[in-house]
Homo-oligomer: A and B are copies of this chain.
Amino acid sequence: MVVYHSKINVESKGENDIIDITNKIQESINSSNLTNGICCVFVPGSTGTISTIEYEPGLKEDFPKALDKIAPKNQNYAHHEKWHDDNGRSHVKATLMGPSITIPFEGKKLIHGTWQQIIFIELDTSPRNRNIIVQIIGE
């Protein structure tokens, strides 16, 4: 049993950019030389999240719109008063969704549905460079 640590660097284009990181996670598993186990995919920072989606243009529009219902743009956030910041909604959405997901792999292959990709969602209000952690545990 081994722990294998890797990072995926992504450049987001700003708010609601949804980036498919499935292949990069598979590459991390390949580099680990592990056969069976789990990957913990974690984003450091409090304005991004990890989930899965059928990665097609329609849902890349639909999902951010739905999330806006919980934390709309045109609303006051107490967070703004402290930092004169504009991203209260980004923080709220990230806390709701959480910073990580854990995914099994078997026979050196990441397990996921054919129309299910692993994604990073940029929730912050401006483009960001992100180092997503892929911590792999297996044998």
Copies of the polypeptide in the assembly: 3
Q: At the interface, yes or no: A116 with Cβ under 8 Å from chain B?
A: yes
A56 to chain B, nearest CB (A): 6
Most buried by B among A36, A57, A100, A112: A100
Among residues 36 to 51 in chain A, which have CB atoms less than 8 Å away from a CB atom of chain B? 36-38, 40, 42, 44-46, 51
Overall SS of chain A's interface: mixed
Name A's B-contacting residues (CB within 8 A).
Answer: 1-3, 5, 36-38, 40, 42, 44-46, 51-54, 56-59, 61-63, 66-67, 69-71, 77-83, 88, 91-92, 94-104, 106, 111-113, 115-116, 119, 133, 135, 137-139
